């Protein structure tokens, strides 16, 4: 675990505008920067960065936060990965907290193996472009496949010399230990002899989601019946084949932005499609798709499109992955290429516009895909048709979402020309076998159509959000506002006298809420409220960078949204359109007073409603007392409404 002192130093050192500037083209906009959203496709900038506050806000997606949350959103890092990324960028030594001996050994082993795989990747790349053998064999092969120098560099392609121990000797000479060369699978140890696993092969490094080299795939180029065409690194502490997707590091941003992931079979398929301009594509590295691989994609999108060869093997491979994807609650579509073509060859032989058009015209959901298979395999075979329909319903039963299941049933009934009743009955039986209730599979014709009410604005939520906004933006500001003081006149009657008073914003909010015995109803607001008050009561300044560090990702996004809200006006450039936007800072007192008074009116109305409900079940005398109390509250509400310049009916 990374020590708090390291985390604090990273936050103190990292400059948000510098880090984001590596990923987004930013332009100066007053005291801030703006740019196009990296999370959506847009033509007008909606992404704002505040160097002074060290926070960012994307108005197109609603996301926001600090420098670490940006890396977690954009690069899909975990928190420790983001901290380590920043530490490396700013040359900060990462200090780990107290660990057990077992934890230290495991961490040391992983780092040692990552170090040796990083060295191997650099070595293979160097051999490809600088050695004569590498140029003649490896580079020539890649160029024949149509790979550009940019693609070779982007995917860190390389070449392992056709010598028994070239890499092993180079690594040992560089100071790496033999045990890590063996445990990473780069070197094979047989008795006292050592030799390179990948000798004489072109190399495809396999990266983690954060960009570290975990393992390799190597393709042999010479004819050798005794040698496998492709060899992968064996399972190790850092490389588990079932949990890895080739090209995910290069594709993750594009997958998130396109909200779709193309899944292919081979390394060259991925590279060729990337090179053509379709970059939201990854490969399962020639293995059957696994739940762990699907979960990796699920972090980026809920839609997967399988791209496979049109031959029988390709079709079988496509079907193996469908149920795993459906079970993860994701949408799955399938596109198969003409016989004799795969993604690699098809992309090489067609223009980008043609490839995109083909994908658009030939991508179908899994039901249509299975129906198409039926039409091709046995047009007039009733038994085969029944088996195919049952297979489709079996896949539908795996889908966790009940609504999506019913939509799929409708589609299947239409395509296969079969009654929905029969399909729902079959689905119910399958669900019962899995321990689910058959009622979840009731056919749509038995379901009542209901009008979904429009979502209403929750006034209390908005008022509480205003309170948090005031505390965040102006908590320590001294403001003047008109309050009402209750006094006795000469006749002893209570009168309300308007009085101009001054107070700090946080003091005014605290005292008013205490006086009314009000606790914020939304948990995230309540937690922020107490955190801010503890800072202000301790007479400490609110340092936004430090404050955001202590918050959960959800709270950090909420705070960023509040703080950066006014920057949305800058993006719209209202002044140039002769539309004047009032500066809230000039009317803090009025904004504060209206928020508190509106909250009081709302709570009084709720209390009146409670009392009115009690009158239906009360005795006559109690009924009279309740009505008197209601009248008192109504009078109080009228007084508050006058101060808000409202008319109460």
Give CA 529 to chain center in angstroms: 27
pLDDT digits (tens, 9 = 90+) for 231-270: 999 999 889 999 899 999 999 888 888 889 999 989 999 9
Question: Using CA atoms, how far apart are residues 69 and 66, in angstroms rounded to an integer?
Answer: 5
pLDDT of residue 353: 95
What's the CA gap between 575 and 297, in Å, rounded? Answer: 43
Percent of the chain with pLDDT over 90: 28
Supply the pLDDT for residue 448: 40
- Residue keyed to tokens 């197109």: 60
Please give the Cα distance from 616 to 626 (Å, whole number).
11
What is the set of domains in the chain, with CATH numbers? 4-89 (3.90.580.10), 100-239 (3.90.980.10), 367-446 (no CATH), 459-563+583-643 (1.10.860)
Q: Is the pLDDT of residue 146 over 50?
A: yes
pLDDT of residue 220: 94
Whether the pLDDT of residue 85 is over 80: the answer is: yes
590 pLDDT above the threshold of 90: no
Q: Encode burial over 184-206: b for 16+ CB neighbours within 10 A, e otherwise.
A: bbbbbeeeeebebbbbbbbbbbb
pLDDT on residue 232: 93
Residue 197 contacts residue 116 (beta carbons within 8 Å): no
Q: E-assigned strands of 170-321?
A: 187-190, 193-196, 201-207, 213-220, 230-232, 261-264, 281-283, 303-308
Q: Can you tell me the mean pLDDT for 545-573?
A: 73
Q: What is the mean pLDDT of residues 556-569?
A: 75
The answer to whether 273 touches 264, Cβ cutoff 8 Å, is yes
Q: Residue 374 has what pLDDT?
A: 65
Would you say residue 418 has pLDDT above 80?
Answer: yes
Instruction: Say what the pLDDT of residue 456 is.
Output: 60
Residue 380 main-chain phi, psi, to 5 deg? -120, 35
Kindly tell me if the per-residue pLDDT of 452 is higher than 50.
no
According to the model, what pLDDT value does residue 482 have? 67
Indicate if the pLDDT at residue 443 is higher than 50.
no
- The pLDDT tens digits for 209-239 are 878 899 999 999 988 778 889 999 999 988 9
Element (H, E) at 85: helix 79-89
Higher model confidence: residue 106 or residue 130? 130
When mean pLDDT is compared across 46-55, 557-566, 629-638, the lowest value belongs to 629-638
Residue 176 has pLDDT above 90, yes or no: yes
- Distance in angstroms (rounded) separating the CA atoms of residues 425 and 427: 5
- Say if residues 318 and 369 touch (Cβ distance below 8 Å): yes
Average pLDDT over residues 299-319: 76
């Amino acid at each position: 675990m990374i020590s708090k002192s390291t985390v604090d130093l990273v936050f103190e050192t990292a400059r948000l505008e510098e880090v984001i500037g590596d990923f987004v083209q930013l332009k100066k906009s007053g005291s801030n920067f703006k740019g196009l959203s990296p999370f959506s496709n847009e033509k007008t900038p909606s992404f704002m960065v505040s160097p002074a506050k060290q926070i960012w806000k994307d108005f197109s997606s609603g996301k926001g936060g600090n420098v670490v949350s940006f890396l977690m959103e954009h690069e899909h890092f975990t928190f420790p990965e983001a901290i380590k990324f920043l530490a490396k960028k700013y040359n900060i030594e990462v200090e780990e907290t107290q660990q057990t001996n077992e934890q230290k050994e495991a961490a040391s082993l992983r780092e040692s193996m990552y170090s040796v795989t990083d060295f191997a990747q650099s070595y293979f790349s160097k051999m490809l472009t600088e050695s004569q053998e590498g140029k003649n064999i490896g580079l020539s092969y890649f160029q024949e496949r149509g790979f550009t120098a940019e693609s070779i560099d982007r995917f860190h392609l390389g070449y392992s010399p056709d010598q028994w121990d070239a890499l092993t000797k180079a690594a040992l000479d560089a100071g790496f230990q033999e045990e890590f060369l063996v445990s990473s699978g780069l070197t094979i140890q047989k008795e006292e002899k050592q030799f390179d696993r990948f000798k004489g092969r072109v190399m495809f490094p396999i990266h983690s989601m954060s960009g570290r080299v975990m393992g390799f795939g190597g393709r042999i180029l010479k004819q050798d019946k005794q040698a496998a065409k492709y060899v992968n690194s064996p399972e190790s502490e850092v490389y588990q084949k079932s949990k890895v997707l080739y090209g995910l590091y290069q594709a993750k941003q594009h997958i998130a932005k396109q909200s779709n992931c193309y899944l292919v079979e081979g390394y060259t398929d991925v590279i060729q499609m990337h090179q053509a301009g379709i970059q939201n594509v990854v490969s399962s590295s020639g293995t059957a798709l696994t739940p762990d691989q699907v979960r990796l994609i699920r972090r980026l999108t809920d839609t997967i499109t399988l791209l496979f060869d049109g031959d029988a093997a390709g079709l079988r491979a496509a079907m193996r992955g469908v149920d795993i994807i459906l079970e993860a609650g994701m949408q799955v579509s399938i596109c198969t290429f003409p016989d004799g073509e795969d993604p690699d060859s098809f992309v090489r032989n067609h223009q980008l516009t043609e490839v995109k058009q083909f994908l658009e015209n030939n991508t179908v959901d899994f039901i249509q895909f299975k129906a198409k298979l039926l039409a091709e395999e046995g047009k007039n075979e009733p038994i085969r048709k029944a088996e195919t329909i049952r297979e489709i319903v079996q896949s539908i039963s795996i889908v966790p979402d009940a609504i999506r299941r019913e939509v799929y049933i409708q589609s299947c009934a239409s395509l296969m020309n079969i009654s929905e009743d029969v399909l729902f009955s079959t689905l119910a039986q399958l669900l019962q076998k899995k321990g689910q209730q058959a009622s979840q599979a009731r056919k749509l014709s038995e379901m009542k159509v209901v009008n979904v009410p429009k979502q209403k604005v929750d006034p209390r939520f908005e008022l509480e959000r205003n309170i948090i906004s005031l505390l965040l933006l102006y908590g320590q500001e001294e403001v003047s506002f008109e309050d009402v003081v209750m006094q006795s006149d000469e006749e002893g009657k209570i009168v309300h006298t308007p009085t101009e008073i001054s107070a700090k914003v946080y003091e005014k909010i605290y005292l008013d809420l205490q006086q009314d015995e009000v606790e914020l109803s939304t948990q995230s607001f309540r937690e922020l409220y107490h955190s801010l008050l503890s800072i202000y009561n301790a007479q400490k300044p609110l340092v936004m960078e430090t404050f955001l560090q202590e918050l959960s990702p959800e709270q950090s996004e909420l705070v960023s949204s509040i703080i950066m809200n006014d920057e949305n006006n800058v993006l719209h450039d209202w002044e140039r359109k002769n539309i004047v936007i009032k500066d809230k800072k000039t009317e803090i007192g009025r904004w504060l007073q209206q928020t508190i008074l509106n909250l009081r009116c709302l709570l009084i109305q709720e209390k009146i409603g409670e009392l009115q409900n009690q009158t239906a079940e009360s005795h006559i005398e109690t009924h009279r007392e309740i009505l008197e109390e209601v009248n008192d509250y109504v009078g109080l509400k009228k007084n508050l409404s006058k101060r808000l310049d409202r008319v109460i009916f």
